[in-house]
Amino acid sequence: MRRRLLNELLGIDYPLIQGGMAQVATGQFAAAVSNAGSLGIIAAGGLSSEQVRKQIHAARELTSKPFGVNVMLMAPDVEAVAAMLAEEKVFVITTGAGNPSPYIADWKLAGSKVIPVVPSVALAQRMEKAGADAVVAEGTESGGHVGELTTMALVPQVVDAVSIPVIAAGGIASGRQLCAALALGACGAQMGTALLVSEECPVHPNYKQALIVAKDISTVVTGRTMGAPVRILKNQMAREYIKLEKEAANREEMEALTLGSLRRAVFEGDRETGSFMAGQVAGQLDEIQPLKTIFESIMAEYRLTLAGLPQL
């Protein structure tokens, strides 16, 4: 049987969904992504459940298309957010940075499609058993909180291990990379970093500029020793954090450095002390474009790539 692509599964235009992106993906941004033909996702990370609810209502005012909410499972008030989502009956719920098993049954009962982001085969299998509708297999190329495996190694292993659809993430920002993801057995792709340089994205202009000047080797993973590896752009903040890690500094000292650093990047564009979460594709991005143009260019390159393969 032919594999159904993500656009068919979700009733959207492209086989592409937006990654969570705490502090960045507001209701307004998610609605813009959905209006452009993808699936926008409101990031609950860093928000209270009532703040997330407001963002859901804001998105509903701005789009009649489906959108989702991403739950950051390490957040302190995750239980309240999970319960609120069951009331709000959102179209899709994605999760990150943990195991969402305790919440899946309630979310399914409310009618949501549940799509956990996973960094390993074992977690993908657990999610399938717990009733997930699909999984996002996210490679360590991605920005923010990352696992160990690359997209190239992870996606085919997850595809072989589960029967539910697999969405690839990490290292995808072009039509060639989307084509590769589908070749690995995925039904579509999740993108985050590529959408940070959209005109509609509400991050500070310095954040977009930092992505545009970034090279292939401009990102680094911090926080491995703390058990919370996070990929960010190299800057003073990243260097100081890594230095403290090498010195095995205490938790409080490390937390003092990270506290609020994502906010400083997103809202203030603070080049020195901000955490500019970004994936390894940052080096590919060289202009700020409307979301629609980004998605259309990716799909045009995807079709050209696919058409060229039989000639090899």
Does 147 help bind ligand TUI (rule: CB under 6 A)?
yes
Q: Kindly indicate which of the ranges 102-110, 117-125, 152-160, 198-206 contains the residues binding ligand TUI, using the contact rule CB under 6 A.
A: 117-125
Binding ligand TUI (rule: CB under 6 A), the pick from 230, 254, 278, 299 is 230
Is 44 near ligand TUI (CB under 6 A)? no
- Asked if residue 72 binds ligand TUI (CB under 6 A), the reply is yes
Stretch that binds ligand TUI, among 95-103, 153-161, 179-187, 201-209 (CB under 6 A): 95-103
Task: Write down the least CB distance from residue 97 to ligand TUI, Å.
Answer: 4
DSSP secondary structure string, the chain?
Answer: -PPPPHHHHHT-SSSEEE---TTT--HHHHHHHHHTTSBEEEE-TTS-HHHHHHHHHHHHHH-SS-EEEEEETTSTTHHHHHHHHHHHT-SEEEEESS--HHHHHHHHHTT-EEEEEESSHHHHHHHHHTT-S-EEEE-TTSSEE--SS-HHHHHHHHHHH-SS-EEEESS--SHHHHHHHHHTT-SEEEESHHHHTBTT--S-HHHHHHHHH--TT-EEEE-GGGT--EEEE-SHHHHHHHHHHHTT--HHHHHHHHTTHHHIIIII--TTT---B--GGGGG----B-HHHHHHHHHHHHHHHHHHGGG-
Min CB(124)–ligand TUI separation in Å: 10
Minimum distance, C-beta of residue 98 to ligand TUI, in the bound complex (Å): 5
Considering the complex, state which of residue 45 and residue 171 has its C-beta at the smaller distance from ligand TUI. 45
Compute the least distance from the CB of residue 5 to ligand TUI, in Å.
Answer: 22
Name which of 228 and 306 has its Cβ closer to ligand TUI: 228
Which of 55-63, 137-145, 203-211, 284-292 is the region at the interface with ligand TUI (rule: CB under 6 A)? 137-145
* Minimum separation from the CB atom of position 119 to ligand TUI (A): 4
CB 70 within 8 A of CB 26: no
Tokens at 83, concatenated: 């319960």
Shortest Cβ distance from residue 54 to ligand TUI (Å)? 20
Q: Is 145 a residue that touches ligand TUI (CB under 6 A)?
A: yes
Nearer to ligand TUI, 97 or 211 (CB): 97
Contact status: 98 vs ligand TUI (CB under 6 A): yes
Judged by CB under 6 A, the stretch of 140-148, 176-184, 202-210, 234-242 that binds ligand TUI is 140-148
The CA distances from residue 274 to 137, 175, 235, 240, 267, in Å, are 28, 31, 8, 12, 10
Q: Which of residues 237-276 bind ligand TUI (CB under 6 A)?
A: 262
Residue numbers at the binding site for ligand TUI (CB under 6 A): 22, 45, 72, 96-99, 117, 119, 123, 138, 144-147, 228, 230, 262, 277
